[in-house]
Amino acid sequence: MKRLLFTIIIGLAATSLFAQTTTTDSVKTDTTKSRRTRIRLGFGDDVAQVNINDTTRRASKAPGFSFGLTFTRFDIGLTTLNDNGSFTLSPTNSFLNYRSWRSSSIGFDVLQLGYRFSSSFRFYVAGGFDWTNLRLRNNITIQRGGNALTYTQDDVQYSKNRLSATYIRIPISFDFRTHDDADGRRFHFVVGPDLGIRISNSLKQESSQGDTKLSGDYHFAKFRYGAAARIGYGAIGIFAKYYFNNMFDNSPAQDGLRQFNFGMSVGW
């Protein structure tokens, strides 16, 4: 799974770099205007249009709305827990001790509605999916249902003990963009709220005794809200997200336990 994700990222990055290079070369070398075929290159809304055998290149865009399907802002990063302002878990939450370099946050957007004020600034609301995966260190089983988040201590050595949640994500973003440079790329600075609606959660365990995957209510927040920021150049960037509400609902012992995600992003 990890190799597949990294392969996707490398492929997307290579495609973007190739597309942008192709756009620039077309501007420099094509001198005739015998055809009107248009090619759309890039990711999401931030694309360049060129005319084949035409030196015309659109350097700016007029104000206006945009809406449609997309595949952009492909995020792959790490999930970190913040326990009442500390990145070290308190004794109450120590049963959630996790492998920090193997606890992931993965997501992408598939739908977008936006308004472009100028070529340097736009606003958009998007919809997509987001996965949170906590790789637990302890040999425990988080219990489904109940009045609060509980667990049992097991006599099994787990090679994988993963607690996961899937959300519909709804970023509301303000995208500040520089003008294209000589290579046809630009810097992006994006900030805004990030909302999420939980659609499922599960526990997957692997050991010498076999594999188990259980779905049910593991008390992940049904609705989460926070802030997100992105910075990037061309099609590649980094992201960070912090959620203001508790990671788990109806679990007083986990009050103040919140989620922070950061990592790499492809596409705008």
On whether the pTM is more than 0.85, the answer is: no
DSSP 224: E
Label residue 60 by pLDDT band (50, 70, 90). low
Judged by DSSP in three states, 206 sits in strand
Judged by DSSP in three states, 200 sits in strand
User: What local confidence, expressed as pLDDT, does residue 38 receive?
Assistant: 37
Instruction: For residue 234, give every residue at least 6 positions away whose Cβ sits within 8 Å of its Cβ, in sequence order, or none.
Output: 16, 17, 20, 183, 185, 186
Q: Is 17's pLDDT higher than 50?
A: no
48 vs 115, 230, 235, CA distance in Å? Answer: 17, 21, 12
User: What local confidence, expressed as pLDDT, does residue 225 receive?
Assistant: 98
Distance of CA 92 to the CA centre of its chain: 30
Label residue 62 by pLDDT band (50, 70, 90). confident
Q: Which amino acid is at 252?
A: P
* Token pair recorded at residue 110: 């598939």
Distance CA 240, CA 218 (A): 25
81, 258 in Cβ contact below 8 A?
yes
For residue range 216-266, what is the model confidence (pLDDT) as tens digits?
Answer: 999 999 999 999 999 999 999 999 999 999 999 999 999 999 999 999 999
For residue range 108-147, what is the model confidence (pLDDT) as tens digits?
Answer: 999 999 999 999 999 999 999 999 999 999 999 999 998 9
For residue range 81-91, what is the model confidence (pLDDT) as tens digits?
Answer: 999 999 999 99
Judged by DSSP in three states, 97 sits in coil
Average pLDDT along the chain? 84
